[in-house]
Chains A and B, each alone.
Chain A
Amino acid sequence: MFPNQFDYHRPTTVAEAVGVLQQNPDAKVLAGGHSLLPAMKLRLAAPSALVDLSKVEGLTGISTNGSVVIGAMTTYAELRDSAALKAALPIVPETAYHVGDPQVQAVGTLGGSLAHADPSADFTAVALALDASVKAVGADGDRTIPAEELFVDLFTTSLAPDEVLTEIHIPAATGRTGMAYEKFRHPASGYAVVGVAAVVSVGVDGTVAQARIAVTGATSKATRATAAEQALVGKPLSADSIAAAAAVANQGLELNGDHYASAEYRAHLLGVYTRRALERAAASLG
């Protein structure tokens, strides 16, 4: 309930934030705080300092001009309610609605979630399925990290300790693209026991040109279900091809088990949830 002692910094620019991080190797960046602060109160995390990004200019906002750019400090509630995103990338507001509860949605941020890399978070899978990348700013300037390279392991990313995740970039969808996120919600935490994000593009010939399917909750980090993706590409998006993809959704994945849901059950759920996500993605093609 009472965290260890820590210093608190509230910079107003990204450069200032990076500077504080460089001087405090054990500092942590504070975004919405919904994961970090409980961990500190349980004394599972004891950063020497917090670098609060809430007053840093330019870290919020949604731009849907061509590719989509979302500021790291944009809250789930803003994503959930964005008319522009509902039109351009409906999977994003839909997923935001399923994160936690309204209180979490009001304060939790997209950048915070991706930088925390909780293995059961929702947006990690969505970022993979959307082929998103993040902009990270450090002492030597900025770099772009594809989501695939961002998530390294359980609560571990490829961000350097003195880097700040500032933006999320999502390429514009090409052709007819359908997308959906399906989640089996843990009754206590609200996190995904199994979550499947599917983004499928169909070419002019009616077959799947590109399929990106990512899973969360079932593995130590959000991961693409490549076998399921391959089962779709070049096929018409039909009940048969969806069933074939669902059948191999857990292939090559090492699955978690816990007292609530065994690895065997998660493997089964992955198939069902992949099917459901693909069915809704197909329906959203129009």
Chain B
Amino acid sequence: MVAAQEAPAKLVGQPLKRREDPRLITGAGNFLDDVKLTGLCHAAVVRSPYAHARIVGIDAEAARRMPGVVAVFTGEDLAEVNPLPCAWQAGNVQNNVNTPRLLALGEVHQVGDPVAVVVAESAYLATDAAAAVEVSYEELPVVVDARKATEPGAPQLHDNAPNNVVMNWTCGKEAAEVDAALAAAPVRVNQRVVNQRLIPTAMEPRGSIGRYDEGTGEYTLWATSQAPHVHRLLTAAFVLGVPEQKIRVIAPNVGGGFGSKIFLYFDMPLVLWLSKQTGRPVKFFEDRSENYLHTTHGRDHITDIEVGAEPDGRITALKVKTWANLGAYLSTIAPGIPTTLYGRMVAGCYKIPNIHVDVTGVYTNTAMVDAYRGAGRPEAAFVIERVCDLVAAETGLDPAEVRRRNFIQPEDFPYDSGIGMLPYDSGNYELALDRAMENVGYAALRQEQAARRANGSRKLLGVGLSSYVEVCGVAPSKWIGLAGEGWGAGLWESANVRVHLTGKTVVTTGSLPHGQGHETTFAQLVADELGVPYDDIQIEHSDTQGTPFGFGSYGSRSLTVGGTAIYKSVAKVREKAKELAAHLLEAAPEDIVFENGKAFVRGTPDASKTIQDLALAAHVAYDLPPGMEPTLEATTFYDPPNCTFPFGTHVCVVEVDRDTGEIDLLRYVAVDDVGNVINPLIVDGQVHGGIAQGLAQALYEGAVYDDSGELITGTMNDYAIPRARMVPTYELDRTVTPSPVNPMGAKGAGEAGTIASTPAVANAVIDALAHLGVRHLDMPLTPEKLWRAMAPKTG
């Protein structure tokens, strides 16, 4: 073994380019649609054209006779198969649960509901045959708006959910107490805000391939999955009734998800069932239109805000009533999002003594709504950051000043916001605000704004602030679990770190990437902590066969929870290596120092054993200390004591054309605090993408249904997502407030940009129009909406 002669440079903190990118961006990566299996058949789904209808009859005979058709099945054929489970119900309240069946039985409740499936020799033949399946329907009345759905006389979706209510959930103080605080407040503002529905639009749509092995009775599922272990568990134990060990789930390279690939979808158990029925491997891969219609959507809140404040800007009372549109059925974790992850975060970065949140989850004849990048926290940040600006407008204070006067202070941490969230771990909110204002040149912008308003400029200047805090690394099983927040399992993570005989190191992790660069970040961490060369480290993931259980990648939890499991496994490996080194160097274990991949007796670094020496010794195993087991590896199952709470302030500067309402994004300044950073390049990338997604919601993105339940933004020709030419240059900066929750001091960075940017941009646009008397406008802030808002008021 050749030992490294010099201490290697630390990799943590280095902006390494992602090691996975060459394969992902040159076409060498294997995505779901690249998986080729002998005898593979293709499934095409017959979908309901109606948003609400009774299925009167299905005639599949013509389809069955078409060339290349292997089989056609309808909902009746799957009547004995369980519907999908809802794994996260709102805590401590009644949830009127209705989940989708693999194929609809009796009734359909949204456009795109699957009613039959065709299996054929090619995707073309399957599509042709699906078009030949004749389904007759009796149309039923439709409702797409969450508030209207709860009104008397509204069309009813499910028998067990009167008035289409999924659940009523509250948090914070009693309503009466907050009403009293509101009544006593000298400054009062009421505002209804809409957080419109979004379609996640991952670059790769969803799909699954099922293969049943008649010889072993085992199933293999390839799926576009953010949570393969959970998908195995739910498919096996809740849907198909197959022993868990008989299903293997593999997520190939996954092309983005933004949350939409966390959930169990009908096609995952369906392709396994189809494979068993037909004796052939079966692939289902949705096209973009199906993705838009039927893969989960995000957001869709209508919220009534009542706020009370002092004339000096201090917010004394906040009452929030939200109708959360959850769609036609409950997706896997749908009720948890507008409750635990939204309701318990509406205080934002502020000390507000009286808060009452009331959330009604509602069924409508629309696609299911579940977690989408940020999941509840963007909705909460939007509410509280609009509140700050509304209070500023009402009191005449600068929006920055309102935030400053309400901030939780550095010495307040850990801070309990009083509405049932775990204590915020650490923060310095004012520092981030100050830095952002300095970076953008806030005072000068306000002067220019005043000057433009004075001289009647046709280009209105707007400056928008958003100070956010979010909850990441959602985990503590004891808190989030069934008895508390209603999540039907734990949320720990696991990792195994194994130094092979050759010194090459393999990490198997339950966390997995769908674009975030886990293989790079985790390898940087291990390289530093274990002292093995970066290139010798392999990160294995995404296959239930060979990786320890993990709950999946979402909620910016991979590094803080999964990464900590790796960190702790490395520490265990190091401890064992030290023990072995003590034996080989004939010293006491407590005298051994382990540094940069070498173990030596304190004071004599020249006589060292490298980690590679020790791995070899541990594997050949002919000279181990008494009682020591061979090999050098360790596994950790890590359940953190708390979540982490990243924060920051974003500032957006816009110019609104007085003639047309067109908006130019002039500046975008972000100061984020995600704790300690492993790879700043990856964090910057996460922030860039997040800002783009968030500003798109503010300006142009939004799913629209017509009254018949048809998705009129059903293609990318109508549904606007941000393109390169539509985003500004980002001016990024960071403050660093380490999290005390995990040994790396990391907080998580996957969602911060999305959470912060929507209110920053919306506030900027509304600010541009403030002198015209505009206090609030609902998103997306399209030019026409602004043009109408700027029109001279008549009558």
A residues near B128, Cβ cutoff 8 Å: 4-5
Nearest A-chain residue to B696, judged by Cβ = A187
B277-293 vs A, CB cutoff 8 Å, 1 = contact: the mask equals 00000000001110000
* Residues in A neighbouring B134, C-beta threshold 8 A: none
> Nearest residue in A to B784 (C-beta to C-beta)?
A265
- Taken together as a complex, chains A and B put the C-alpha atoms of A1 and B43 apart, in Å, by 13
Closest CB of chain B to A5's CB: distance in Å? 7
Q: Contact check, A187 vs B700: say whether CB atoms are below 8 A apart.
A: yes
Given A2-B127, A187-B726, A188-B719: A259 in contact with B784 (beta carbons within 8 A): no
The answer to whether B782 touches A260, judged by C-beta atoms less than 8 angstroms apart, is yes
User: Could you mark each residue 180-201 of chain A with 1 if its beta carbon is under 8 Å from any beta carbon of chain B, else 0?
Assistant: 0000101111100000000000
A140 / chain B contacts, CB cutoff of 8 Å: none
Interface size class, chain B: 20 to 34
Within 8 A of B (CB), among A212-231: none
Contact B660 A5 (CB under 8 A): no
Number of A interface residues in the complex (CB < 8 A): 22
Q: How would residues 33 to 52 of chain A score, 1 for a CB under 8 Å from any chain B CB and 0 otherwise?
A: 00000000111000000000
With contacts A2-B124, A269-B660, A272-B660 taken as known, whether A187 is within 8 angstroms of B784 at the C-beta atoms is no
Query: What distance in Å separates the Cβ of B792 from its nearest Cβ neighbour in chain A?
Result: 13
Chain A residue numbers with a CB within 8 Å of B723 are 101, 190
Contact of B784 (CB < 8 Å), options: A5, A186, A262: A262
**Is A268 interfacial (CB-CB < 8 Å)?**
yes
Q: Nearest CB to that of A268 among chain B residues? A: B787
Set A41, A187, A189, A259: member contacting B712, Cβ < 8 A: A259
Q: For the complex, what is the distance from the CA of A42 to the CA of B131, rounded to whole Å?
A: 12
User: Which positions 101-121 of chain A face chain B at CB distance < 8 Å?
Assistant: 101
* C-alpha spacing A4/B123, complex, angstroms: 11
Question: Chain A nearest CB: distance from B357 CB in Å?
Answer: 32
Beta-carbon contact of A189 and B288 below 8 Å? no
A189 neighbours in B (Cβ, 8 Å): 717-718
The smallest C-beta distance from B511 to any residue of chain A, in angstroms, reads 32
Residues of chain A within 8 A of B731, CB atoms compared: none
Q: Which of B117-133 contact A (CB under 8 A)?
A: 123-124, 127-128, 131
Question: What is the CA–CA distance of A5 and B660 in the complex, to the nearest angstrom?
Answer: 46
Complex Cα distance, B788 from A2, in Å, reads 42
* CB-based nearest B residue for A260: B782
B532 CB–A CB distance under 8 Å: no
CB within 8 Å of B: which A54-81 residues: none
| Residue in contact with A188 in the complex, picked from B124, B288, B662, B721, CB distance below 8 Å | B721
Chain A residue at minimal CB-CB distance from B289: A42
Is A261 part of the binding interface, using a Cβ–Cβ cutoff of 8 Å?
Answer: yes
User: Nearest CB to that of B701 among chain A residues?
Assistant: A187
Cα A134 to Cα B456 with chains together (Å): 48
A5–B716 CA distance with the chains assembled, in angstroms: 24
| Number of A-B pairs, beta carbon distance below 8 Å | 56
8 Å CB interface, B137-180 against A: none
B656 vs chain A, min Cβ distance (A): 14
**A184 near B127: Cβ-Cβ < 8 Å:** no
Q: What is the 8 Å Cβ interface bit string for chain B, positions 231-263, against chain A (1 contact, 0 not)?
A: 000000000000000000000000000000000
Contact check, A187 vs B720: say whether CB atoms are below 8 A apart: yes
Q: Complex: how many Å from CA A259 to CA B785? A: 11
Say if the beta carbon of B704 comes within 8 Å of chain A.
yes
The answer on a CB contact under 8 Å between B787 and A188 is: no
**Smallest Cβ-Cβ distance to B657: which chain A residue:** A272
Q: Does B659 contact A (CB under 8 A)?
A: yes
**Nearest CB of chain B from residue A184's CB, rounded to whole Å:** 7
Of A1, A4, A265, which one neighbours B787 at CB under 8 angstroms? A265
- Whole-angstrom distance between the alpha carbons of A2 and B131 in the complex? 12
* Complex CA distance for A168 and B788, rounded to whole angstroms: 41
A190: chain B residues at CB < 8 Å are 723
Check B720–A259 contact: CB distance below 8 A. no
Q: Convert B696-728 into 0s and 1s, putting 1 for each residue whose CB lies closer than 8 angstroms to a CB of A.
A: 000110001000000011011111110101100
In the complex with contacts A260-B782, A265-B784, A1-B719 CB distance below 8 A: no
- A135 to B320 Cα, complex, angstroms: 65
Residues of A within 8 A of B700 (CB): 187-188
Known A2-B124, A189-B717; contact A184-B784, beta-carbon cutoff 8 A: no
Q: How far is the CA of A248 from the CA of B704 in the complex (A)?
A: 33
Chain A hits for B783, CB < 8 A: 184, 261, 265
Most buried by A among B131, B704, B712, B717: B717
Cβ contacts A1-37/B at 8 Å (1 or 0 each): 1101100000000000000000000000000000000
In the complex formed, the residue of A with least CB distance to B715 is: A42
Q: Are A188 and B660 in contact (CB under 8 A)?
A: no
- Cross-chain contact B716 with A188 (CB below 8 angstroms): yes
Chain B residues with CB under 8 A of A262: 784
B contact residues around A43 at 8 Å (CB): 131
CB distance from B362 to the nearest CB of A (A): 22
Q: Digit string of B456-483 for contact with A (CB within 8 Å is 1, else 0)?
A: 0000000000000000000000000000
Q: How far is the CA of A186 from the CA of B717 in the complex (A)?
A: 9
Residues from chain A with a CB closer than 8 A to the CB of B715 are 42
Q: Are A1 and B288 in contact (CB under 8 A)?
A: yes
A42 to B787, CA, bound (A): 35
For residue A260, which residues in chain B have a CB less than 8 angstroms away from its CB?
A: 718, 782, 784
**In whole angstroms, what is the CA distance A101 to B717 when docked?**
13
Q: Residue-by-residue, is B771-795 near A (CB-CB < 8 Å gives 1, otherwise 0)?
A: 0000000000011100110000000
Q: Which residues of A sit under 8 angstroms from B718, Cβ to Cβ? A: 188-189, 260
Is A188 touching B127 in the complex (CB atoms < 8 A)? Answer: no
Interchain nearest-CB distance for B118 vs A (Å):
12
Which of B718, B721, B788 has the largest count of A CB atoms less than 10 A from its CB? B718
A269 CB contacts on chain B under 8 angstroms: 660
Contact partner, B704, options A1, A42, A259, Cβ 8 Å: A259
> Which residues of chain B are near A101, meaning CB under 8 Å?
723, 725
Most chain-B Cβ atoms within 10 A of its Cβ — which of A101, A259, A261? A259
In the bound complex, CA of A272 to CA of B287 (Å)? 39
Q: Which residues of B contact A187 (CB under 8 A)?
A: 699-700, 720, 726
Which residues of chain B are within 8 angstroms of A272 by Cβ–Cβ distance?
659-660
Which residue of A2, A186, A259 contacts B123 across the interface (Cβ within 8 Å)?
Answer: A2
Known: A42-B289, A188-B719. A261 touches B726 (CB 8 A): no
CB nearest neighbor in B for A43: B131
Bound form: Cα–Cα A4–B128 in Å: 7
Decide: B123 and A184 in contact? CB cutoff 8 A.
no
> How many Å from the CB of B634 to the closest CB on chain A?
47
**Minimum distance in angstroms from B8 CB to a CB of chain A:** 42
B677-707 CB mask vs A (1 if < 8 Å, else 0) is 0000000000000000000000110001000
Complex interface: chain A residues within 8 A of B662 (CB)? 184
* Across-interface contacts of A1 in B (CB, < 8 A): 123, 127, 287-289
* A184, B719: Cβ atoms closer than 8 Å: no
Across the interface, which residues of B come within 8 angstroms of A42, CB to CB?
A: 289, 715
| B780 to A, closest residue via Cβ | A187
User: What sequence of 0s and 1s flags, for each residue 650-673 of chain B, a beta carbon within 8 Å of any chain A beta carbon?
Assistant: 000000000110100000000000
Which residues from chain A contact B288 at a C-beta distance below 8 Å? Answer: 1
B717 and A188 form a contact (CB under 8 A): yes
Expressed in whole angstroms, the Cα–Cα distance for A1 and B782 within the complex equals 30
Instruction: Kindly state the separation between the CA atoms of A5 and B67 in the bound complex, as whole angstroms.
Output: 13
* A-facing residues in B293-352 (Cβ within 8 Å): none
Cβ of B787: which chain A residues have Cβ within 8 Å of it?
Answer: 265, 268
| Residue on A nearest B287 in the bound complex, by CB | A1
- Bound complex: CA of A171 vs CA of B181, how far in Å? 76
Say yes or no: A184 contacts B782, CB within 8 Å.
Answer: no
A262 to B784, CA, bound (A): 8
7 examples of A-B residue contacts, CB within 8 angstroms: A1-B127, A2-B123, A2-B127, A259-B704, A260-B718, A260-B784, A272-B659
Known: A187-B700, A188-B719. 11 other contacts (CB 8 A): A1-B287, A41-B287, A186-B720, A188-B700, A188-B713, A190-B723, A261-B782, A265-B783, A265-B784, A265-B788, A268-B787
Chain B residues near A (Cβ < 8 Å): 123-124, 127-128, 131, 287-289, 659-660, 662, 699-700, 704, 712-713, 715-721, 723, 725-726, 782-784, 787-788
